[in-house]
Structure 1
Amino acid sequence: MLLVAAALITASMHSLGVVESPVAPTTTSVAIVRTAAIVHDPATASRPVMTGGQDTVDTADLRAARGRTFLDDLVAIAPDRLAHAATEADVVATAMDHPPTAAEVTTWWSGLGSADRARLERDAPVVVGNLDGVPYTVRDHVNRAVLAAGLADPHTAASESAMLGQVRESLHRVADTPPKSLITLDTRGAGRAAIAIGDLDTAADVTVVVPGMFFTVTGQMVDFTATAGDLYAEQATLAPVAAPASGTGVAVVAWMGYRTPDLSNILSLDLAKTGAARLERTVDGIRELRDGQQPRLGIVAHSYGSTTALMALASGHMSADSLTVLGSPGSDVTNASELAVSSGEVFVGGAHWDPIAGSGYFGTDPGVAGFGSTILDLAGGVDPEDAGDLFRRPVGHNDYLKPGTASLHDVALIAVGRGDMVRDGIRQGNGRGEGVVGASPDMYLVRPQDLQPRD
């Protein structure tokens, strides 16, 4: 039944231009930054550090290296070989798929001299820009250079140019809006990208938004980033009632950091497992760079992304102050006690006429009685804190984070540490209520108005 629901949702979205194609781009190339892409003074270049008793290391050594050795070899490789070596498939795969820990990266980067850092930013931007533990200002700088070089290169494949064009448009910033940072850019295959809205280094509240099925960088990065911006704006308006935390302001990450499923693999959990590991590394990087000034960190996950987030938080490798899942098809987690989330801070939302929420396709529905979660009351109505503020009821599978919905307001309250206000406003106890439609064949018809693209 999940396949039927997914097909109908995709067809409705495609007809409205929300999904460009359920098929992932086939490009496998990695954008290469030309030497002139980043301004650099050759006079600042320094001699590579000694590694293993040698002045330099071989490219083959770098391809085979892992952990801290990989990082040291990046610095020790001959300067005239670095630019080429850092774009080899095996080296890029290590940096993006099997990287050193954020702690190793942070220690390594902080120990480098300014000349070595400048050389790495210039000649190995694809690697440096995707290592969790490298400062976000550096990652944004080099990833934007990779982006610009890829768009300017006449040899860039059309599918990759389309992907990069979406990222460039997503980064567009108008006056009086928060800054954006490109903290992940991977052009291999279907592509991956993550854009932070706000300052990850200083924000009191950091929220990572994880998307579900059919989301691709090429098809939805602009809209997904705008959705993260809507959540940022809603959280910012709640600053007067936010609970105390280390830092100031908020930051929201539009994290398309894993390949989401399409119709060819929607029934598999393999992508969720890979995505969970990537999400763990992303959160580890945020925490490592904040060190003693930890932000209040929340995960907001939609659809298949909720399965991914539940896996990550049950792995023992990642923790969060809150978890909000929306339209969840479930996971193998059977109780909130299995999750590394602060007590009482697991929330579940299911919109009216959402055929995925409460289905339990991938295991236990986190909204069932006994799971230990708080079920959001998404019927809409008046905000008890402001009688003049009326929220509408979200409808369908893709309506949860749209402006003006009760769900967006609740998600923002949870993110700023005011889950108590959400719980106090709920009229029902634990377990699914009338707000979620039970799964039955006739409920898989998704109305076009439920899937309206962004205005």
Structure 2
Amino acid sequence: MARPTDWRVLGLDSDPIPQDPDNLYIWAKSYHDYADQVARALSGTNGLLNDPALTGWLGASGQAFKDACLPFPGMLNTAEDAYRGVGDAWDDFSKQIRTLQPQFDSCLNQATTLLQKMKADGGLSDEDALACATSDNDAVMYDRMHAKHMENSSTLGPAGFENALDALSAYRAGFDPLRRQVVDLCGQYTGAKVKCENALNDAADLASKIVKSAGATGTNSMNFDDRFSSRGGNLADLVLSPDAALGLEDSMFPTQGTDPSEISWWWTSLSQPERDKLILEHADLVGALDGIPCLDRDKANRAVLDATRSSVNARIAYLLAHIPPTDGRDYPNPEFDSWNKELDDLRAKQAGLNSVYDRLNNHPDQPPAFLLGLDTAALGHAIVAINNPDTANNVVTYVPGTGSKLGNIAGDISRSDAMVGAAGSGPGFVTSSITWVGYDAPQNIAKDSPFIHYATDAELKLYDFETGLRMTHQGPASLNSIIGHSYGSTTVGFAMRDMGLPVDRVIFVGSPGVGVEHAADLHIDPAHVYIGAADNDPVANLPLAENLTQLPSNALNALGWATGLSDYNVHGPFGQLPYNPEFGAHTFKVAPGALWPPGAAHSQYWVPRSDSLRNIGAIITGNQPS
């Protein structure tokens, strides 16, 4: 069965429904045939056991024969149910595939037709047309067309440029309903796979019971066959073939990037024993999925934390036991430099892992903490919630900026604790504050922070996380806020601008810019956008000067942003300065902050009993700041 291979126009890497329904039907028929054979064996066994010649067999030998044979009918009946259950599962799945495949293909055909129209009307190459079709906004489309126009490689003249751009915008909008339909179809397909897998598992459980009732200790069918043959039986392999599953379990497990609503639906469709098994066997995968409830993610990630700490500690011990020889040399030594770089990285991550472990386990006097994400890839990442966001009335996600990473997370977690304290608590009133170090933040304020790719790379991760919080929340909807500090505000702003995070309130503190000219461009009511900027915060104030020579000396000393920023005038490196009145957001009261040491004010928004912390507490609980 030939299937379409290029699904990129719908945002898919490959065929979302590649199974051959004919092959599935063959599997179904095979197992139904097995079930029929077992049914005939069951009928023959019952006839034999009810034969008067046997029922009248008296004495010890007759009783021994009856004792040996009496379990067989029940075992055969269970075997028939197992085989028939597998056949029914494959048959149902085959029918679902036959129903869904034409619908997927129809969406692809319609999208391909739109793509060809975009290519023709825009004078675009295949690559550019595909980029326009799969972009989330018109900017990409404009850039592609404009580049072609400026290169004189477009088939359009200047007069046709704007008309073509309008036409392409209309075509691009036509992809949206098709992609929504594909998402719905993927949900139906996932449901069919879940149902099939559950049926296969039920059948496997039945087959395992046969083995145990025959006296075997394992689930290997040969254990039972040997015993059954020794008693005169000849029924082959009652335990399901491993090939029966066809790798369905692996394909069922969602990957990072799967829509959190689909993950939530999948997780709730599982039984509690199934969830427990996945947490036990795939803790790293479960813990990383947005759309899985807090308590389950926490359980999985605590297991990941324990394993990761052990692994990191063991690697550090190994490195310390195998120090490369230096021979007192002061000239370049690549082997030692590589060793030292790895050791420094591991020690930083070790410190972060220990900080996370400490907050989770050693502070009974503070609100409980939950681990919603953890890995040591690149800079290392962790997501730590104070109080359970699934049951809290108010939920705030804190996104830190330059310098944030796993190794430095202790200070960021303390800020979440401070926000929970500022929010207050009472019977039936709980605030959860989440430290989200879920992206690779810039590490150097001069070399890294002026670049936007750190923010754009984090957009989808942040969107999925916030969407997952909505999907797993229990009871009435919570008031969800997000707060970005320093470059973290840029990361939040870009995600709000390009994806529209599902939050009720947005807070920017110490911000160098959030990627837009006006709060209204953030896909949220500007009345719910709040800005905090300390007078002595050099990051928040840097862009106000006409050029660098007019900056306060402490700002220059603290930042060192002497390259590439002198022509921003009243704009920051990432757009309009948020607390500029023209930005159109609420500015709340913040203490001026310390002048010394240089840059200190940039990190003082969470000082206990400060105006800024009090106002942040008011905002995240639905109140107005001063």
TM-score over 0.5 (shorter chain): yes
The Cα of 1:349 is off from its aligned counterpart by 1.1
Q: Give the number of the structure with larger relative contact order, counting CA–CA contacts within 8 Å between residues 6 or more apart.
A: 1
Aligned to 1:207: 396
1:253 aligns with 2:441: no
Counterpart code for 2:294: Y
TM-score (norm 1): 0.66
Q: Would you identify which runs of 4 or more consecutive aligned residues in structure 1 move more than 6 Å?
A: 46-52, 66-71, 75-81
Secondary structure (helix, strand or coil) at the match of 2:617 reads: helix
Once the 2 structures are TM-superposed, how far is the Cα of residue 181 of structure 1 from its aligned partner?
0.3
Q: 1:305 and 1:288 mapped to 2: Cα distance? A: 24
Query: Which segment is superposed worse, 206-215 or 342-351?
Result: 342-351
Is 1:235 matched with 2:423? yes
How many angstroms apart in 2 are the aligned matches of 1:137 and 1:203?
A: 13
- In structure 1, which of residues 306, 328, 351 is the aligned counterpart of residue 511 of structure 2? 328
1:301 and 1:364 mapped to 2: Cα distance? 16
Partners in 2 of 1:122 and 1:115 — Cα distance? 10
Distance 1:301 1:182 in 2: 20
2:272 partner amino acid: S
Kindly report which structure 2 residues correspond to 1:13-92, keeping only aligned pairs within 5 A, or say none: none
Q: 2:463 maps to which residue?
A: 280
User: What's the secondary structure of 1:190's corresponding residue?
Assistant: coil
CA distance in structure 2 between the aligned counterparts of 1:196 and 1:353, rounded to whole angstroms:
30
1:100/1:364 Cα in 2 relative to 1: closer, same or farther (>3 Å)?
same
Q: 1:189 to 1:70 in 2, by over 3 A?
A: farther
Q: Deviations over 1:7-64 (max 9, x none)?
A: xxxxxxxxxxxxxxxxxxxxxxxxxxxxxxxxxxxxxxx999968969xxxxxxxxxx
Aligned pairs, number = 336
Q: Offset of 1:191 from its aligned partner?
A: 1.3
Matched-pair contact (CA < 8 Å) for 2:396–2:483: yes
Alignment partner, residue 357 of structure 2: 168
Aligned residue number for residue 224 of structure 1: 412
Q: Any residues of structure 2 matched to 1:9-408 within 5 Å, and which?
A: 95-96=255-256, 99-153=257-311, 155-156=314-315, 159=346, 160-218=349-407, 220-236=408-424, 248-263=429-444, 264-290=447-473, 293-358=476-541, 359=543, 360-379=572-591, 396-408=601-613
Unaligned 5+ segments in structure 1 are 1-45, 55-65, 241-246, 382-393, 426-455
Larger Rg: 2
Give, in whole Å, the separation in 1 of the partners of 2:90 and 2:462.
32
Q: Please report the RMSD computed on the Cα atoms of aligned residues, expressed in angstroms.
A: 3.6
Contact 1:319–1:341 (8 Å) recurs in 2 = no
More helix by share: 2
Query: How much has 1:251 moved relative to structure 2?
Result: 0.6
- Write the distance in 1 (CA, Å) between the matches of 2:377 and 2:472: 27
Displacement of 1:278: 1.4
8 Å contact 1:126–1:142 — kept in the other structure?
A: yes
Compute the TM-score of the two structures, normalised by the length of structure 2.
0.49
Unaligned runs of at least 5 residues, structure 2: 1-81, 95-182, 205-241, 317-342, 544-571, 594-598
Q: Shift of the alpha carbon at 1:380?
A: 7.4
Task: From the superposition, tell whether residues 319 and 281 of structure 1 become closer, same or farther in structure 2 (CA, over 3 Å).
Answer: same
Q: Does the residue aligned with 1:396 lie in a helix, a strand or coil?
A: helix
Name the amino acid aligned to 1:298: S
For the structure 1 residues 109 and 311, does the alpha-carbon distance in structure 2 shift closer, same or farther, using more than 3 Å as the test? same
Q: CA deviation at 1:266?
A: 2.0
Aligned position for 2:13 = none
Q: Is the 8 A contact 2:294 2:388 kept in 1?
A: no
Q: Give % identity.
A: 27
Deviation at 1:155, TM superposition (A): 4.7
Query: What is the identity, as a one-letter code, of the residue corresponding to 2:454?
Result: L
Residues 331 and 380 of structure 1, relative CA distance in 2, 3 Å threshold = closer
Cα deviation for residue 156 of structure 1 reads 4.6
2:617 aligned residue: 412
One-letter identity of the residue aligned with 2:615:
D
Question: What is the identity, as a one-letter code, of the residue corresponding to 1:257?
Answer: G
Cα distance in 2 for partners of 1:282, 1:200 equals 12
Q: Distance in 2 between matches of 1:191 and 1:70?
A: 32
Cα deviations by residue, 1:205-254 (Å, 9 ceiling, x for unpaired): 11111101011111x211111111011111116x69xxxxxx63111001
8 Å contact from structure 1 (residues 170, 221) kept in 2: no
Deviations 1:285-309 (A, max 9, x none): 1111126621001111100000111
Q: 1:395 deviation in Å?
A: 5.7
Distance in 2 (alpha carbons) for counterparts of 1:398 and 1:255: 17
Q: Which amino acid aligns with 1:190?
A: L
Rounded to whole Å, the distance in 2 between the matches of 1:340 and 1:292 is 26
Contact between 1:106 and 1:289, CA under 8 Å: does it hold in 2?
yes
